[in-house]
Chains A and B, each alone.
Chain A
């Protein structure tokens, strides 16, 4: 049986933990809080000093709560298949890991290149004379909606730039998304292992 001071200490811990769990859905937050409360009550019932040791072993409630929230967000984004949401979460988490940060930057670059490729394809159809690749001795230009070069420099790809840009854009988006999920799963595994500390 837990005495009054023990109960107050447990409730204080659970209150702080619950505060850190706010981003979780109410049902999940309640389940985590109830389980931790139950654990601390069981520990307190083991005698003097047991509750203090258990609270010490649980760690700072805000950190414990953060670990639940991070895992929930990451696992949820991986499961629901939302690349943009996953990218936002990965970028938020990568401040703590160089590899993840570099991975997230590469993903962003791939997405930007992909978007640019689609822009090239679309603009070529609207303004064909202003989009293309021009190559000549002592002259090179890759232009999107810029002024055409002085004649008679030939444009390299013509309308082939449209399907090629679309293919490259799709490849960049697919590659970036695959890399993003890979980085997300790595971060999730790493955060799980980080929790297992003695």
Chain B
């Protein structure tokens, strides 16, 4: 079995939870989200993040605004919506249960 491929699958499953959890700490733009999400190790890649953010925004889980006043580089800031907060809460419960189950098994 290819360990890199298996590890990539694990990360794929966690990416939405990680992005929502980082936004729970406060509004952030793309690079900030990446910095927070990948602080302990690479979970979400640059190329994966932005389509994921677009999808979450269209699904109503996050909302976005452009900030054109801070310097020459406009930035798109994201924050959780109430739907996103609810979804994050559910995902956290499921994640804790899954982690506990896996800890007992392995």
List residues of chain A with CB under 8 Å of any chain B CB.
Answer: 32, 34-36, 38-39, 41-43, 45, 54, 57-59, 64, 67-68, 71, 75, 192-198
With contact pairs A32-B54, A196-B15, A196-B52 given, residues A42 and B46 touching in the complex (Cβ less than 8 Å): no
Q: Which of these, A45, A58, A67, A75, contacts B46 with CB under 8 Å? A: A58
Of all chain B residues, the one with the shortest Cβ separation from A192 is B55
CA distance A198 to B4 in the complex (A): 9
Number of chain B residues whose Cβ lies closer than 8 Å to a Cβ of chain A: 26
CB <8 Å contact, A198 and B76: no
Q: Which residues of B contact A68 (CB under 8 A)?
A: 51, 54
Q: Does B97 contact A (CB under 8 A)?
A: no
Q: Which residues of A contact B74 (CB under 8 A)?
A: 34, 38
Q: Which of these, B11, B29, B76, contacts A196 with CB under 8 Å? A: B11
Q: Which of these, B11, B44, B46, contacts A54 with CB under 8 Å? A: B46
CA distance A194 to B55 in the complex (A): 13
CB <8 Å contact, B31 and A43: yes
CB <8 Å contact, B11 and A198: yes
CB <8 Å contact, A42 and B31: yes
Q: Which residues of B contact A35 (CB under 8 A)?
A: 30, 50, 76
Cβ distance A78 to chain B, nearest Cβ, rounded Å: 11
Q: Which residues of B contact A43 (CB under 8 A)?
A: 31, 46
CB <8 Å contact, A196 and B50: no
Q: Which of A38, A64, A68 has the most CB of B within 10 A?
A: A38
Of all chain A residues, the one with the shortest Cβ separation from B10 is A198
CA distance A57 to B55 in the complex (A): 19
Q: Which of these, B43, B45, B47, B50, contacts A32 with CB under 8 Å? A: B50
Nearest 3 interchain pairs by C-beta: A57-B46, A59-B47, A196-B15
Q: Which residues of A contact B43 (CB under 8 A)?
A: 198
Q: Mark B60-104, 1 if CB is under 8 A from A, else 0.
A: 000000000000011110000000000000000000000000000
